[in-house]
Structure 1
Amino acid sequence: MNFTVNQSALQTALDIVLKGIGSNPALPILFGIYLKASEGTLEIQSNDLNVSIRHKLPANVIEEGETVVSSKVLQNIVKNLPDAAITLQDEERGIKLMCQRSTYHLNILPVQDWPSFPELIPEKTVELPSALLATMVGKVYRVVSHDVSRPILQGIHLSAEENTIRLVATDSYRLAVCDANTDTPAGEKFEAIVSGEALHDVLSMRTMTEKILIGTTDNQVVFSFGNTTHISRKIEGNYPDYKKLLPQTCNAALNLMVPETSAAIKRVSVVAMQNPAVRFDIDADNGQVRFSAFSPDQGDASETIKADVEGTSLAVAFNYHYVFDCLNALSDQDTVRLELLSETQPAVFKATGKINYLYLLIPIRL
């Protein structure tokens, strides 16, 4: 094997495939990066048996070949090299890497132990605008559960039908739903439960193209864009029927300015170091809401802002961390509507626009 490639292109490729290196791979070979040079192309792969990533980039291939090298070592070398030509070539006991005045002799891993990249033919596919999808994922990603005992909640429910994309995420304490209009194939419905981490990682890749193709097989989800293919396990099971959780009516509703509300809660929550509850006292008569927090060690704080209130006065408390997740997801919105039934029943934050957003949150008992 003997090829030359540009440092910046190789660095970008490594940034992509390193997302497929697990923190504790099941096999020693999976700590490595697979390199294959052929026909003017360098193919790079990572695999942790749950996620497989392949990226291709142009290279000046003098001699074809393949090898596996430590991902950590290769990444540390490449990121510290200048933006110049890098040459890799076989030698007796490993590979030789050269860039300007720098030379490295690296050990290699047994290439015969490297698992073959899954060659899948998706049963269903959908092509979606990547920028829109990335924005939507950013609005629901923080709601994805990290509880490994409930893998279904570690996923995002993705559906595309009748020119609408919808994403749903929940950790059983809160629920986030967002939808947006886009072109989808007429009469077809695409639906899958996709790992929230995988979806977030894919859409944040530096080589993302204007469109991304998403496909599913019986147990895999395939993301294809440009010269990159990302395969992850599809989460099996039935996603919770979130529509049953949504209240059909409310006894109080208020329209809040997102920046003003976020700033007020942030100031009040400074004292809520051990107790994450922030109380909302909604005053329908005076058209205002008072935020307050209390800590037996730190003291208390409160702040009142004006609000357009409909219905009755009501007092309710929320975990302010969860409220911040909602407001941060709405940083591109001016206003949010909060609808409440009682101090103990789920409340709903709503915002409409290019992307419609709904956030259901269970109150903390006062």
Structure 2
Amino acid sequence: MKIRCNREHLADRLAQAARAASTRANLQSASHVRLTASSGETPVELAATDLEMTLRVPLDADVEQEGSVLLPAKIAPELIRALTGETVELSAGEDGRVLVTAGSSSYTLYGLPVDEFPQLPEIDHEHLFETDCSTFAEVVSRVKRAASRDESRPVLTGALVRFEQDRLIMAATDSYRLAVAEAPLAKAPPEALEAIIPVKAMEEVVRLAGSSTSPLSVAIGEGLVTFGIDGLWLSVRRIEGQFPNFTALRPEGIEHSITIAKDELLEVVKRVGIVVRQNTPVRAELSTGTLSLSARTADVAEGAESIPVAYDGAETIEIGFNHEFLRDGIESVPGDEVKLGLISSLRPALLESVDGTFWYVIMPIRI
């Protein structure tokens, strides 16, 4: 194998592919990026996998000799980027070694034999459909922070993604909060499809797409979900299991509701949050004409602020929230205003967009 290409282009593409490589010590072969060079119109391909997520990245290069090599994912992008000169050459040596030359620089990377690289899943071209990439990215951004990071509960580390005829719906929860977002779709699959997809993988899809205006290709298979854009392909295993019935978790019987400017509320929550330490709650008090937010950490600091609101209820409601969860919910609401709905100090609260396309349930903390 021997190729020649632009150095910065190779460094960028290697860095993209390396994000899917495994970081686990017991998966040494998966800690590499496979470079495959073919003649003809087929582009050079960089591929990496951690056995859950697989990423294929095209590379513009001149192929002098066909073949494949494995490049160490941890150091190859850094080395290529640090070299000087516009062009870099990669050629295969013996026993998995790869010779890298650029200008007067010459380095040898000690890779592994190509046949030790894990077998990659095929791209499901048969079931691909196209959808709007910017819409997908927008909905992911609304729900991703509510997903769990606890790997012992894999279902909650993903989001339920549902493609319907005219809209996209996503829901994510870590059992302490729940985010649900939807958006209209100009392009949709021929029939309704849904899957629990790892949030980490969807964030990577959004990162790869960047500001691209190309449509996003999606295929939802029995065990695998595939995304494609601008020649890049990401495949990820579906999360098996039963996602919570999120519609049943939306609070009913909300008796106290206000609409407030999003930016004003967010700035107050951020300032009050400065005095929060560890598990200290943010206390919210809704009374006639006023929403008060306060926090106190013993021997550190305390603070309180009030916002005038259009509320004339006879009952005063006091409720405690996790500061991070409250801030995340407010930041995720689209638009300039936020609707806050309360039932009691012991019942979940509801944050909602004015147009109803996003809602966020947050559990209270005892105060």
TM-score by length of 1: 0.93
* Alignment-mate amino acid for residue 361 of structure 2: L
Q: Check the 8 A contact 1:126/1:190 in 2, yes or no.
A: no
- 1:157-190 CA distance string (max 9 Å, x none): 1111131111100000000001111124476102
Aligned to 1:22: 22
Q: 1:217 aligns with which of 214, 221, 226?
A: 221
Q: How much has 1:61 moved relative to structure 2?
A: 0.7
Determine which structure has the larger strand proportion and give its number: 1
1:96 aligns with 2:76: no
2:62 corresponds, among 56, 60, 63, to 60
Supply the AA of the counterpart residue of 1:64. E
Find the aligned partners of 1:250 and 1:32 in 2 and give their Cα distance. Answer: 53
Number of matched residues?
362
Return the offset for 1:209. Answer: 5.3
Match of 1:140 in 2: 143
Aligned pairs for 1:201-280 within 5 A: 201-205=204-208, 210-280=214-284
Q: CA deviation at 1:129?
A: 1.3
Mapping for residues 1-366 of structure 1, pairs under 5 Å? 1-24=1-24, 26-39=26-39, 41-82=43-84, 84-92=86-94, 94-121=97-124, 124-185=127-188, 188-205=191-208, 210-284=214-288, 287-309=289-311, 311=313, 312-330=315-333, 333-353=335-355, 356-366=357-367
What letter is aligned with 2:232? T
Is 118-127 or 85-94 further displaced after alignment? 118-127
**What fraction of aligned residue pairs are identical, expressed as a percent?**
28
SS of 2:29's equivalent in the other structure is helix
Counterparts of 1:65 and 1:23, CA distance in 2? 25
Asked whether the 8 Å contact 1:127–1:214 carries over to 2, the reply is: yes
Q: Partners of 1:205 and 1:216 in 2: how far apart?
A: 19
- Paired residue secondary structure (2:19): helix
Q: Aligned AA for 1:196?
A: V
- Which is worse superposed, 73-82 or 307-316? 307-316
TM-score, normalised by the number of residues in structure 2 = 0.92
Moved over 6 A (4+): none
Q: Which runs of 5+ in 2 are unaligned?
A: none
**Shift in Å at residue 33 of structure 1?**
1.2
* CA deviation map 1:285-324 (0-9, x unaligned): xx11111112222242111111122644311111111011
- CA offsets, 1:128-148, max 9 Å, x none? 211221122111111110111
Q: CA deviation at 1:68?
A: 1.0
Does the Cα contact within 8 Å between 1:254 and 1:337 map onto a contact in 2?
yes
The one-letter amino acid of 1:12's match is D
Evaluate the alpha carbon distance shift between residue 120 and residue 2 of structure 1 in structure 2; reply closer, same or farther with a 3 A threshold. closer
Distance 1:69 1:15, change over 3 A: closer
Once structures 1 and 2 are overlaid, which stretch shifts more, 296-305 or 115-124? 115-124
Asked if the contact 1:16–1:206 (Cα under 8 Å) also holds between the matched residues in 2, the reply is no
Deviation at 1:270, TM superposition (A): 2.2
Q: Can you give the 5+ residue segments of structure 1 that lack an aligned partner in the other structure?
A: none
- The 3 A distance-change label for structure 1 pair 362 and 122 is farther
1:53-74, Cα deviation, whole Å (9 max, x unpaired): 1112221111111111211221
Closer, same or farther: CA 273–279 of 1 in aligned 2, 3 Å:
same
Q: Is this contact kept in 2: 1:156–1:193, CA < 8 A? A: yes
